[in-house]
Structure 1
Amino acid sequence: MAATDIRIDPFPVFNFRVELDGLVVASFSEVSGLTADGDAIDYREGKDPTNNVRKLQGLRKYTPLMFKRGYVQDDTLWQWYRRIADGANERRNGSVILMNEAHRDVLGWNFVNAWINKIEGPSLTATGNQVAVESMELHHEGLTIEIISTAP
């Protein structure tokens, strides 16, 4: 890949889509939690010449993914949650895909073995005029990033 093929200015955050394998759901208006983290473990052998701890890599951790969308007459996510609440081990893989201004895929955050831990209906008020929003919290076991395209 030539240096001139790499985009220098950042992509806007509003142009994305979510894919959950096997589920067809409406678009989401917000996604957060695309975070990978880990523990650092303090370690020192008794015969180390310096009196300092060494930092070793510990377990990797992944923040729950939070999804929000305007409420629609589609209960696919609620049905998935219900099956999990009833004891089914129904996990899914998925992706959050960022697109450029021409609606071409450019980056993807892929997650594995995800399941709904929490689903929340809208907050309703008789004096409001906002869109009814539902949210979903997914726990998962891995997050990777993929460069899909280098097109400007």
Structure 2
Amino acid sequence: MADDGSAQTSNAQMWPLPKFYFEVKWDSDVMSFQEVSGLDVEAQPIEYRAGDSPVHSVVNMPGLKKYGNITMKKGVFIKDNKFWDWFNQIKLNTIKRIPLTISLLDESGSPTMVWTVKDAWPTKISGTDLKAEGNEVAVESIEIAHAGITIANS
């Protein structure tokens, strides 16, 4: 008898989620991206050693949290200047900071894992490269700094 895959669906908890089906909410808009990377957080270690410690090494303690910049890539479309319009709002250390919601979706389109990014703002935009002999799609990227990520896994 051929395997119809029903055994896999009954054990859905055993299979990791694929990463190719996702959605990005950019403030109140939903935008399409080819790639999202940099959903990183780390605790910076603090090295400490008391002067009267008999142990001749430092103790590592957790310090401040540090969030990596998020990089998002998308195709270039005619009359789509959202990245550049947002970046050009930077004036004398001020910029409109927006919330981002990045959702990993299941096969029905429901969010299974959600990264909520607080106070995002652009730090870098990279336009597409141009090649006379190429046949690739034009892709631009934006690098975003932020004030923190919360993660919900349903």
TM-score for the superposition, normalised by structure 2 = 0.84
With over 3 angstroms needed to count, the CA separation of the structure-2 counterparts of 1:56 and 1:97, relative to structure 1, is same
**With CA pairs under 8 Å and 6+ residues apart, which has the higher RCO, 1 or 2?**
1
**Alpha carbons of structure 1 residues 6 and 60: separation in structure 2 relative to 1, 3 Å:** farther
Shift of 1:33: 0.2
Q: Residue in 2 aligned with 1:77?
A: 83
Q: How far off its partner does 1:105 sit?
A: 0.8
Which of structures 1 and 2 has the bigger CA Rg?
Answer: 2
Question: Take 2:72 and 2:54, find their aligned partners in 1: how far apart are those partners?
Answer: 50
- Any runs of at least 4 consecutive aligned residues in structure 1 with deviations exceeding 4 A, and if so which? none
Identity of aligned residues (%): 38
Q: What secondary structure does 2:90 align onto?
A: helix
Q: How far 1:49 moved relative to its partner?
A: 4.2
Query: SS in structure 2 opposite 1:7?
Result: helix
- Give secondary structure in 1 for the equivalent of 2:133: coil
Q: Summarize the alignment of residues 23-62 of structure 1 with structure 2, pairs less than 5 Å apart.
A: 24=29, 26-62=31-67
Coordinate RMSD, CA, aligned:
2.0
1:101 counterpart residue number: 107
Give 1:82 deviation, angstroms. Answer: 0.5
1:125 corresponds to which of 115, 131, 134? 131
Structure 2 segments unaligned to the other structure (5+ residues): 1-9
What does residue 23 of structure 2 align with? 17
Q: Give the paired residue count.
A: 144
Deviation per residue, 1:31-74 (Å, 9 max, x gap): 00011012111112223343332211111111100000011121
TM-score by length of 1: 0.85
Note if contact 1:25-1:76 (Cα within 8 Å) is conserved in structure 2. no
